[in-house]
Amino acid sequence: MKFFVDTAETKDIAELAATGLLDGVTTNPSLIAKSGRDFIEVTKEICGLVDGPVSAEVVSLDHESMMREAEVLRKIADNVCIKVPLTFDGLKTCKALTGDGTMVNVTLCFSANQALLAAKAGATFVSPFIGRHDDNGFDGLDLIRDMRLIYDNYDFQTEILAASIRHGVHVLECARIGADVMTAPPAVIKGLVKHVLTDKGLEGFLADWAKTGQKI
């Protein structure tokens, strides 16, 4: 499973990119607003920090305006992935852009039928929002399961990009189901390495090693 980080904070992205474990980045208008940075400028900087896809979202609602915004965004760098909403205009834009060889992430997916439409529109990625699904009394992971089944039934190449990930159990279950990618906030990704028994074991090994008086 590929790991994308869901943030526009360049310091966090650089830190995770340095581990070699980061495969891409997702942003959205709320994350750009939170960063307080200029959209084009920060996106350009992020694209230089990772080799993989960097999702940058259009903010218009009609196809023509989405295409105009996509034109501006895809000029930023070769690894920009245009993010469009799961609406008919978004799907039309997805079809036009991917037909042209541009990566597209269809976002705000909350049903398997929406995901089916995104695949038919040739999406590179589709982003089902697990956490927001859970918040509203549905099982976000069931959506990922349905999508995996449907995409495999028809051999769709669209990658399932599990989004709105809130904790390690979401990550684990997505990997079990076979999501292609997951995107999570930096804290969730950093938290995956933690285990109390790892810390305790390391502490014990180092204490015993100190007793030997040796050096490597």
Q: Is 29 in the site for ligand E4P (CB under 6 A)?
A: no
* Dist CA 131 CA 139 (whole Å): 9
- Give the three-class secondary structure for 12: helix
Q: What residues pair up with 125 in beta bridges, in sequence order? A: 105, 159
44 as an active site residue: the answer is no
Of the ranges 33-41, 129-137, 149-157, 205-213, which one interacts with ligand E4P (CB under 6 A)? 129-137
- Of positions 73, 121, 163, 177, contacts ligand E4P by CB under 6 A: 163
Task: State how far the Cα of 76 lies from the Cα of 88, in Å rounded to an integer.
Answer: 26
Q: Applying CB under 6 A, does 124 fall inside the site for ligand E4P?
A: no
Q: Mind giving me the DSSP string for 166-211? A: -SHHHHHHHHHHT-SEEEE-HHHHHHTT--HHHHHHHHHHHHHHHH
Residue closer to ligand E4P, measured from CB, 3 or 195:
3
The H-or-E segment that residue 67 falls in is: helix 63-74
Alpha carbon distance 107, 137 (integer Å): 20
Report the nearest approach of ligand E4P to the CB of residue 209 (Å).
42
Residue from 37, 120, 132, 190 in contact with ligand E4P (CB under 6 A): 132
Give the residues across from 84 on adjacent strands: 106
Residue 129 binds ligand E4P, judged by CB under 6 A: yes
Q: What angle do CA 22, 106, 111 make, to 5 degrees?
A: 110
Instruction: Indicate whether 9 belongs to the interface with ligand E4P (CB under 6 A).
Output: no
Least separation in angstroms between CB 161 and ligand E4P: 7
Q: Which is closer to ligand E4P, CB of 35 or CB of 201?
A: 35
Query: CB-wise, 6 or 45, nearer to ligand E4P?
Result: 6
Residue 24 tokens read as 């891409």
* Minimum CB distance to ligand E4P smaller for 122 or for 140: 140
* Binding residues vs ligand E4P (CB under 6 A): 6, 26, 28, 107, 127, 129, 131-132, 163-164, 183
Residues involved in catalysis: 83
